[in-house]
Amino acid sequence: MAVHAYTSFTFSYLNRARVLATSLRRQHPDWVIWAVLTDRAPEGFTFKLTSEPFDRMITVEELFGAETERWLFGHDIVEACTAVKARAHLRIMQETDVEQIVYFDPDIAVFNSLEPVIELLQSHSIVLTPHQIDPEPANAIRAILDNEIASLDYGSFNLGFLATDAGAEAQRFARWWDERLHDWCHDRRDIGLFVDQKWCNLVPCFFNGVKVLRDPGYNVASWNLSQRRMCFDAEGRALINGQLLRFYHFTKLGPVGETMTRRYAGDNYEIHELWWWYRHEVARFTDPAIPKGWWYYGTFENGDPIDKPMRELYRSRKDLQAAFPEPRRTGPGSFHEWLQVKRRAWA
């Protein structure tokens, strides 16, 4: 029996996924690591599993079959990569040797053993990590806005990490999650929805055996740095509030992530060192053959970008879905042409 881990990404995030898989492999060489790809390789680049730190891969086409293109058209890149997670989870559950399944966002790096999570799954079905585990002080207005109110908006638990066993309750959860994500994995905070994450606020209500892991060493990120401090002990072990750093979530690599990290890490320069290391690891694993921001499903066949309003329009109208079953196609009679005609008319 084995632990199966997976991550969901497009080729523009392959560098990050490689950092994740390499760091995970270092801690758990016996785990089976899956790459869940919601993308097709750009011209000039070949994804060879044997040269990658992943053991297996599965594509969105394999998970969603004939409806893939039509279904994906209704999602932007974040929605798409999160919407496939539940279907992939169910798929991996079908493996004969599977005992536990762990999901990681590709922008995570693992620093110490995750064996405690596997031990928790001996007595629990589902393990979730909250964005925050300690309340902000009442006078910390910006921190309350940035962290606690953001969690009310985006979800209590961070779905960059999820672990389940392969038992009946976990399967019941995965089936429910898959149903919701198939139809409702959207960034619609106006109706209280944020991709796959907000749904999981309901997990402790709907399912038994849910463990809310309140260990500061898990899922450390800018949204909880206000209450977490990193240091190294004499043995060189990375500690968060005195507990081993298990994994760090390097969310928003770039100016936004830098600003939020700076705001909450402050003089905790070990966090900045961690980021320095991550930036260079990502650079090391970056393949120049992959164009920046590449996503096969991000454009029409002729290369025109698919805007968010186009996606929202398509997914909201059954008539359009029926009329244009291949929405990425361009040319006469295509959804692309229909949009151009409409645009001219509105203008």
Partner 1 sequence: MNRLWYRILFNASGKPRRWTRRVVFRKDRSVRPLFHRLVYKRSGVIRPHWANWVAAAPTDVGADLPSAQELALRKLRPFEQTIANWRRAERLPTLITARQLIDRLKQLGEAASAGIVLAASHDNYREIPGGVQVCLQHEERAAVARHFAYLQFHPAQPLPCLAPAGEHRDLPVTLLLNGAPIGTAAMAELMAAVKHCVSTGRAVRFVVHHLLGHSPEALVELALAARLKDVIFWLHDFFTLCPSFTLLRNGLAFCGAPDAGSNACGICVYGPSRREHQARIAAFFRALPMQVVAPSQVTADFWLGKAGLPVQSVAVVPHITLEERPRIAPAPVDERAPITVGYLGAAVTHKGWPVFADLMTRHSGSGTRFVVFSSQRPGKGEHEWHHVHVTAETPDAMSDALTRARIDIVLHWAACLETFSFTTFEALSAGAFVLTNPGSGNVQAVVRSTGRGAVIEDVPALHRLFAGDGLARLVAARRARAAATELKVYRSAMSFDLPGWRQPWPCTLTQASPSAI
- Residue 27 and residue 246: Cα distance in Å, rounded? 10
- Residue 164 and residue 117: Cα distance in Å, rounded? 9
- Residue 193 and residue 199: Cα distance in Å, rounded? 7
- Show Cβ contacts of residue 115 under 8 Å, excluding neighbours closer than 6 positions: none
The amino acid that residue 305 corresponds to is P
Binding partner 1 (rule: CB under 8 A), the pick from 234, 322, 345, 347 is 234
Strand bridging mode 238-240 / 243-244: antiparallel
Binding partner 1 (rule: CB under 8 A), the pick from 190, 267, 293, 347 is 267
The half-sphere exposure of 286 on its side-chain side, counting CA atoms within 13 A, is: 13
Residues 97-116 close enough to bind partner 1 by CB under 8 A: 111-112
Q: Does 274 bind partner 1 (CB under 8 A)?
A: yes
Question: For partner 1, which stretch binds (CB under 8 A), given 60-68, 169-177, 255-263, 304-312?
Answer: 255-263
Residue 287: CB minimum distance to partner 1, A: 18
Question: For partner 1, which stretch binds (CB under 8 A), given 4-12, 138-146, 210-218, 328-336?
Answer: 138-146
Q: Does 236 bind partner 1 (CB under 8 A)?
A: yes
Binding partner 1 (rule: CB under 8 A), the pick from 44, 67, 135, 141 is 141
- Nearest CA-CA partner of 5 in 98, 101, 78: 101
Question: For partner 1, which stretch binds (CB under 8 A), given 52-60, 81-89, 140-148, 296-304?
Answer: 140-148
- Residue 286 and residue 236: Cα distance in Å, rounded? 28
Q: Does 259 bind partner 1 (CB under 8 A)?
A: yes
Q: Please, which residue, 118 or 240, has the CB nearer to partner 1?
A: 240
What's the burial of 127, exposed, middle or buried (CB within 10 Å: 0-12/13-18/19+)?
A: buried
Question: For partner 1, which stretch binds (CB under 8 A), given 13-21, 58-66, 133-141, 335-343?
Answer: 133-141
